[in-house]
Amino acid sequence: MKIAVIQGPNLNMLGIREQHIYGPMTLEQLHTQLQASAKENNVELEFFQSNLEGELVDKIQECLGTVNGILINPAAYSHTSIAIKDALGAVNLPVVEVHISNIYKREEFRQKSITASASTGVITGFGPFGYHLGLLSLSQIISEVQANQEANKKANEKLEKEQKS
Ligand code: DQA
């Protein structure tokens, strides 16, 4: 199973930016920890960070046919980007949106996520640990999707066999 971890604008500044909100961990440290827990669960990760909306859209589009799901923190674009929401809708993959801070406890403009409506679920307010929760939830969802696909395939094969005989 392969998952793309997509990080939006200013998350490359983790460990430096507003530590009272986002904590002291850098993005690199966060990715190293995430990689370790993914390895334990036989999940392959691919990391991507960009400060540019179009690059994030391109990356999401590239996910089609290359990964089984997307773990994304669209950061400030969560509150503004119809383009990112549409890209997530277009690839139609399981998506978990993560926010380090609790967006519902912050300024009013952060309390609405446009991209969340294209996500399977949202995890917000658990600090960097939210990415681990997100990874766990996403792998569970992907396993369920794969099991359903397998069951449908078997049922169709059985039906075809019965129709032939
Ligand atoms: C954030 C919350 C956003 O409102 C903000 O713009 C970010 C980070 C979070 O992880 O808490 O850059 O997505």
pLDDT in tens, 41-76: 899 999 999 999 999 999 999 999 999 999 999 999
Give CA–CA dist 36/99, Å, rounded.
20
Q: pLDDT at residue 165 above 90? A: no
The answer to whether the pTM exceeds 0.75 is: yes
Any atom of ligand 1 within 6 Å of the Cβ of 110:
yes
Domain that holds residue 148: 2-164
The domain spanning residue 84 has which CATH number? 3.40.50.9100
Choosing from 31, 77, 79, 99, the catalytic residue is 99
Is 20 catalytic? The answer is: no
What is the model's pLDDT at position 105?
96
Any atom of ligand 1 within 6 Å of the Cβ of 116:
no
How far apart are the CA of 37 and the centre of ligand 1, in A? 23
First and final C-alpha spacing in the chain: 37
How far apart are the CA of 31 and the centre of ligand 1, in A? 17
Count of the separate structural domains present in the chain: 1
